[in-house]
Amino acid sequence: MNFNIKNTFITNLPGDQETENTRRQVDEACYSFVKPTKTESPELVHYSKEVAQFLGLSKSYCQSQQFLKIFTGNEIIENSKPYAMCYGGHQFGHWAGQLGDGRAINLAEVEHNAKRWALQLKGAGATPYSRSADGLAVLRSSIREHLCSEAMFHLGVPTTRSLSLSLTGTKVLRDVLYNGNPAYEKGAVVCRVATSFIRFGSFEIFASKRDNITLKKLADYTLKHFYPELEQGAKKGYVALFKAVSERTLEMVIHWQRVGFVHGVMNTDNMSILGLTIDYGPYGWLEGYDKKWTPNTTDIQHKRYQYGQQGDIALWNLLKLANALYPLVEDAAPLEEIITNYKKMYSVKYFEMMKSKLGLELDTKKDLKLIEQLELNLSLTETDMTIFFRGLANLSKELVVPEKADLTFLDSVKNAFYKIEEVKGETLLFWKDWIGQYVTRLQKEELSDIERKQKMNLVNPKYVLRNYMAQIAIEAADKGDYTVIDELYGLLKRPYDEQIDQEKWFAKRPEWARTKVGCSMLSCSS
C-alpha cells in the first residue's frame, strides 16, 4: 500500500531540534519527532469501514499484516516522519503549562480524493510530552473512543474519526478510581483521523511564552490550510479566524446539547481549532435529564463540565483562545465583539435546536416558555432524554388531556420515566399542563402528525452510546469477544433509524449500571 503522504504540519512549521525521546519542555517548536513504541503481540480488534473508505484503504489491506503493524506503531509508513504535537492548556480553569501529545503520535498526513487527513495513534508510547505518564492507553478507553467517534459522526456531530482499534499485547497499570488500587489492564491503540488535531492550547502555549513568532506561524498555517476562504496573514485574518472558530465551536456544542452528549473534560487542550469533538475520555450521555450531570468523577465536586454548562465553558475556552491570539491582533474590540455575539447566538441557536426537537416550525412568542417548562418537567423525576424526545414524536395533536388522574395522556413518552409511579401529585399536574400546552401549540402548525414525526426523528436519535452499552462491549472484549463492539458499531451507524430488531438498545439504563464504575462513574484514568 502506497500512502499518498502530503505532510504540511511538519513541513510548514518549526520543529523541536532535539530528537531523543526524552521528556522535556519544548520551546519555539510546534512538534517533536518521535517514533511509536513497538509492541509485543498486536491484534486488530475492529476497524471502521467508512474511515478506511475515505482514506482509500481496501478491505484486504485493512485485514493485512502491514495494516496491523502500521496502526499499532510497529512499522512506520514509508517515507513518513511521525511526530507529537506541542500544546498547552487550561485544565479545570487553571493554566497547566505545557501538555502536548503525551500519548498521541501523528503518523503522517495523507491525501485521498483531494482531501488531506492526519493519522494519529493514541496509546502508542511515550513522547517528549508524556510528563510522568506512560504514553499508553487501555482497552476500555480505546473502545470508548473508537465507538463514540464513529457514533458522533453518524449523529451529525462534528468530530474526529477513528480508523482502527487494536490490542498491543502489552499490559498497562491503571488506578481507575485514583484510590490506591492500581491493576493491570490490556493495552490498546486507536488510530484517530481528522483534518487536523490543532487545539486552542496549541496557540496558548506560544502566547504564554510571549513567542509571537511561532504563534504567528501557527496562525498563518491554520488559516492557509483550514480556513483558506479567510483573509491571510493580516490582523483582519486572525480576527476572522477567531470568529470562524467561535462559530464552529458554538455549532458543535449545540449538537452536543441536542443529542445529550457530555464531553466531561472541556479543557482548552481538548478544544479543536476546527470545532470538532476531540479527546473522548470520561464522556457520557444524559440518561435522566439533569442539567447538572457530569460523567467525570474527577469533576464531581465542582461539576465544571456539567451538561447544562457546556455552552458557557466553550465560551470561557474561546476567551482563552482570544487572549492567545491577541498579540497578533493588538485590538481587543473585535475579539470582544465576537465573544458578545457568541452569547447572543448561543441562546438563538439553542432555542432553534430545541424547537426542532419538539417539531415546532412557526415562530410564536410562547415557545421559549414552553421549552423552559419542559426542561423543568424533565428534571422533576428521572426522565430519559433520548427516549422522551423519540417518544414525543408519536404524540397526536388531537390528544385531549383528560381531567381525571390517569396517565394515558403520557402514553407516547411513558417509557422515558425511570419510575412512572413518581409521576403523581404536582408532578402529574405539571405534565398535564405541559402536554396540554404542547398539543395546543402543535395545532397551530400545518404539519400532520406523520410529517412532524418524520422531522423530529431526524434530530432526536433513537440510539446513542449509553455508558452501560460501551461497558457491556468492554467487558466482552476483555474476554476476547468483540461481537458487541461490532454490533454497537453497526447500530450506531444509523442512530435515527427505527431498527426494530435492535430495540433492546432503545431502553433505559438498567439498574445495575446506576452505580457501576465505567457506567455512571468515569475517571480521566485511561
Residue 445 sits in the site that holds ligand AMP (CB under 6 A): no
The correct pick among 16, 101, 109, 299 for binding ligand AMP (CB under 6 A) is 101
Residue nearest to ligand AMP (CB): 102
The correct pick among 90, 103, 146, 154 for binding ligand AMP (CB under 6 A) is 103
Count of C-beta atoms within a 10 Å radius of residue 384: 24
137 or 393, CB closer to ligand AMP? 137
Catalytic residue among 16, 101, 220, 269: 269
Taking the C-alpha atoms of residue 4 and residue 113, their distance in angstroms, rounded to an integer, is 10
The single residue listed with the C-alpha cell 516522519 is 81
Pairing relationship of beta strands 115-122 and 161-174 according to DSSP bridges: unpaired
- Examine the residue annotation and report whether 269 is marked as an active-site residue of this protein: yes
Q: For binding to Mg ion (CB under 5 A), which residues are involved? A: 270, 279
Question: What does 185 bind: Mg ion, ligand AMP, none (CB cut-off 5 to 8 Å by kind)?
Answer: none
φ, ψ for residue 103 (rounded to 5)? -145, 25
Residue 135 sits in the site that holds ligand AMP (CB under 6 A): yes
| Contact (Cβ atoms closer than 8 angstroms) between residue 256 and residue 262 | yes
Question: What does 317 bind: ligand AMP, Mg ion, none (CB cut-off 5 to 8 Å by kind)?
Answer: none
Question: What does 524 bind: ligand AMP, Mg ion, none (CB cut-off 5 to 8 Å by kind)?
Answer: ligand AMP
Min. distance of Cβ 67 from ligand AMP in angstroms?
A: 24
Residue 205 sits in the site that holds ligand AMP (CB under 6 A): no
Taking the C-alpha atoms of residue 134 and residue 406, their distance in angstroms, rounded to an integer, is 59
Min. distance of Cβ 133 from Mg ion in angstroms?
A: 12
Residue 97 sits in the site that holds ligand AMP (CB under 6 A): no
| Contact (Cβ atoms closer than 8 angstroms) between residue 523 and residue 297 | yes
Count of C-beta atoms within a 10 Å radius of residue 135: 25
Residue 34 sits in the site that holds ligand AMP (CB under 6 A): no
| Contact (Cβ atoms closer than 8 angstroms) between residue 243 and residue 321 | no
HSE value, Cβ hemisphere, 13 Å, CA-based, for 29:
20
Cell readout for 110 is 495523507
Cell readout for 424 is 403523581
Min. distance of Cβ 281 from Mg ion in angstroms?
A: 7
Question: What does 134 bind: Mg ion, ligand AMP, none (CB cut-off 5 to 8 Å by kind)?
Answer: ligand AMP
Cα 51 to chain centroid, rounded: 17
Question: What does 136 bind: ligand AMP, Mg ion, none (CB cut-off 5 to 8 Å by kind)?
Answer: ligand AMP
Min. distance of Cβ 473 from ligand AMP in angstroms?
A: 21
Stretch that binds ligand AMP, among 134-142, 244-252, 368-376, 414-422 (CB under 6 A): 134-142
Helix, strand or coil, per DSSP, at residue 26: coil
Question: What does 226 bind: Mg ion, ligand AMP, none (CB cut-off 5 to 8 Å by kind)?
Answer: none
The single residue listed with the C-alpha cell 465573544 is 339
Size of the site for ligand AMP (CB under 6 A): 17
Residue closest to 55 by CA, chosen among 114, 115, 116, 112 = 112
202 or 383, CB closer to ligand AMP? 202
270 or 523, CB closer to Mg ion? 270
The correct pick among 239, 240, 265, 271 for binding ligand AMP (CB under 6 A) is 265
The correct pick among 39, 106, 130, 467 for binding ligand AMP (CB under 6 A) is 130
Taking the C-alpha atoms of residue 206 and residue 193, their distance in angstroms, rounded to an integer, is 25
Overall size of the chain counted in residues:
526
Q: For residues 156-195, which are near ligand AMP according to CB under 6 A?
A: none
Residue closest to 154 by CA, chosen among 226, 51, 282 = 51
Count of C-beta atoms within a 10 Å radius of residue 176: 19
Taking the C-alpha atoms of residue 513 and residue 221, their distance in angstroms, rounded to an integer, is 46
44 or 172, CB closer to ligand AMP? 172
270 or 272, CB closer to Mg ion? 270
Residue 30 sits in the site that holds ligand AMP (CB under 6 A): no
Question: What does 348 bind: ligand AMP, Mg ion, none (CB cut-off 5 to 8 Å by kind)?
Answer: none
Question: What does 102 bind: ligand AMP, Mg ion, none (CB cut-off 5 to 8 Å by kind)?
Answer: ligand AMP
Min. distance of Cβ 278 from ligand AMP in angstroms?
A: 9
Cα 308 to chain centroid, rounded: 16
| Contact (Cβ atoms closer than 8 angstroms) between residue 350 and residue 368 | no
106 or 270, CB closer to Mg ion? 270
Q: Sign of torsion, CA 54 60 66 67?
A: positive
Taking the C-alpha atoms of residue 23 and residue 239, their distance in angstroms, rounded to an integer, is 35
Taking the C-alpha atoms of residue 295 and residue 62, their distance in angstroms, rounded to an integer, is 34
| Residues with active-site annotation | 269
- Interface residue list for ligand AMP (CB under 6 A): 99-103, 129-130, 133-136, 265, 269-270, 279, 281, 524
